[in-house]
Amino acid sequence: MHLKNSKIIVIKIGSSLLVNKDREIRKKWLSSFAEDIKKLKTNNKKIIIVSSGAIALGCKKMNYKRMNLKLDKSQAIASVGQIELMNLFSQTFSKFKLNISQILLTLEDTEERRRSINAKRTFENLFELDYIPIVNENDTIATSEIKYGDNDRLASRVAQITNADTLILLSDVDGLFTKNPKLYKDAKLIKKVNDFDKDIKNINIKGITEFGKGGMNTKIEAAKICNLAGCNMIIASGLYLNPIDQIEKKNNCTLFVSKITKLQARKKWIISSVSPKGELMIDEGAKRALLNGKSLLAAGIKKVSGKFNKGDHIKIMDIKRNEFARGLSSFSSEEIIKIAGCHSGEIEKILGYISKSEVVHKDDMVKI
C-alpha cells in the first residue's frame, strides 16, 4: 500500500469504533489502533486523528439516550464527553509512549483563510513537538448553521489545510461497493477510483447509506475535497483489530487516487485570489532567496503598500516594481511596517510578542 510514501496521514475514526451498541468502550480495539499509530510514528509519519465519540461518551457518562437529543442539550453533553474522550485516548496512547493533544475546530476555522493558516501552523508546531493532534468538531458551540455536519467532511478539510498525503476513513465496511454489501451478496468492492466521472458513474451511492452518520455520500464528498487538495483517500473497515496494519497487509479497501499534486492544488488556491490586499517591495538579496525556494523574511522588505491582515493575499514586487510572486502574509501590514528591514531575532522585541519569523512562508507563496 502507498502509505510508505505518505509523510502526513489523517485518520478518521467514528464513534461506533470506540463505543459498541451496548455502550461499552472498545478498549482492546483502541489499544490495537494505538499500536498501529506507534508503528507509523516509528516510520517517521506525521499523524492526525479525527475522532468522533464526544457525544456518545457524554451520553454514557450521564446515562442519556442519544436519540432525539436537542441541539443545546447535545452541546452540553459534548462538553462532558470531550473530557471522557481525551482521557480515553490519553490513557491508551500513553502506554505506547505516544503524546497527544486536542484541537477543537468549528467550520470557520478551515473555511476562512486567515484562521485556516493559524490552524495549519498549530498542526506544524505540534508535529515539531512530537505530539499527535486529536481533532474533533467543537460540538459545544457549533450550531446547525456552522457545523461541518459529519466528521468525514471535517477530516477532509483537515487533510486539505495540513497538506496531508493520505486521508484514511475507517468505516464499518471495507470500502466503496458496486451495491450495498449488507443487502446484496453480489456486491463487489471497488479497489481503486482514478476518475470520479468514469469509475463511480453507475453506482447508486444513495442506496449505500446504512453505515456511519452520513453514509457513503459524505465519504464521496470527502474524497472529492481530497482530490482537489492533491491528497489520496482510503475508505477501509475499522472493525478489525490493528485496522491500519490490515490496510497495509490485505489492501482490502477503496483507494481514491488524486491526480493533482499538493503543490498544484496549493498554487491554484493561492493564485485564485481575485484581489490581493497589498504589496511588499523587496530587495535583490531577498528576491534571490525566494528564487532559491526560501521564505520571505522581514530583513529583505523595503516598502509596504496597502492595508491587509494576517492571512491576506498579497503581491511581492522586486525593486523595479515587477511582480514576481504572490503569497499569504503571516503578519498584518501594520506589523510589517514596524519590522521591515529588521532581522528575525528582533521581531519579538519590536512587536512585544512571539510570532513566526517568516513574513511569507515558502509554502504560502507562488512565484509567477
Looking at residue 14, what DSSP letter applies? Answer: -
- Can you give the pLDDT at residue 60? 86
Q: What is the mean pLDDT of residues 313-338?
A: 94
- Can you give the pLDDT at residue 213? 45
Q: Would 238 be classed as within a structural domain?
A: yes
User: Pick from 221, 224, 250, 253: which is nearest to 236 by CA?
Assistant: 253
Confidence of residue 117 (pLDDT cuts 50, 70, 90): confident
Confidence of residue 273 (pLDDT cuts 50, 70, 90): low
* Residue 140 CA, distance from chain mean position: 20
Q: Is the pLDDT of residue 28 over 90?
A: yes
| Residues listed for the chain | 368
Q: Would 267 be classed as within a structural domain?
A: no
Q: Would 268 be classed as within a structural domain?
A: no
Confidence of residue 338 (pLDDT cuts 50, 70, 90): very high
Statement to judge: residues 112 and 195 lie in one domain: yes
Separation of alpha carbons 3 and 5, rounded Å:
5
Q: Would 307 be classed as within a structural domain?
A: yes
- Can you give the pLDDT at residue 251? 85
- Can you give the pLDDT at residue 145? 45
Statement to judge: residues 258 and 331 lie in one domain: no
Statement to judge: residues 114 and 224 lie in one domain: yes
- For the chain, the domain total comes to 2
Q: What is the mean pLDDT of residues 126-139?
A: 91
Q: What percent of the chain has pLDDT over 90?
A: 48
Q: What is the mean pLDDT of residues 335-346?
A: 95
Statement to judge: residues 25 and 82 lie in one domain: yes
User: Where in the sequence is the domain holding 288, given as residue range(s)?
Assistant: 273-367
Question: Of 203, 235, 262, which residue is a domain's last?
Answer: 262
Statement to judge: residues 133 and 242 lie in one domain: yes
User: Pick from 137, 228, 156, 167: which is nearest to 8 by CA?
Assistant: 167
**In this predicted model, what pLDDT tens digit does every residue of 204-229 receive, in sequence order?**
655 444 333 457 888 888 888 888 88
Mean pLDDT value across the chain: 86
Question: Of 262, 287, 319, which residue is a domain's last?
Answer: 262
Statement to judge: residues 132 and 250 lie in one domain: yes
Q: Provide the grid cell at 77.
A: 453533553
* Distances from the Cα of 347 to the Cα of 32, 132, 282, angstroms: 46, 29, 18
Q: Would 96 be classed as within a structural domain?
A: yes
* CATH number of the domain bearing residue 160: 3.40.1160.10
Separation of alpha carbons 247 and 86, rounded Å:
26
Q: Which of 43-47, 170-174, 222-226 has the highest mean pLDDT?
A: 43-47
- Can you give the pLDDT at residue 146? 44
Question: Of 241, 262, 283, which residue is a domain's last?
Answer: 262
Statement to judge: residues 323 and 243 lie in one domain: no
* CATH number of the domain bearing residue 300: 2.30.130.10
Statement to judge: residues 106 and 228 lie in one domain: yes
Statement to judge: residues 215 and 277 lie in one domain: no
Statement to judge: residues 199 and 248 lie in one domain: yes
- pTM for the predicted model, two decimal places: 0.75
- Can you give the pLDDT at residue 208? 46
Q: Is the pLDDT of residue 143 over 60?
A: no
Statement to judge: residues 120 and 29 lie in one domain: yes
Separation of alpha carbons 69 and 328, rounded Å:
42
Which residue carries 503598500 as its cell? 305
- Can you give the pLDDT at residue 210? 39
Statement to judge: residues 214 and 249 lie in one domain: yes
Mapped onto helix, strand or coil, the DSSP state of residue 21 is: coil
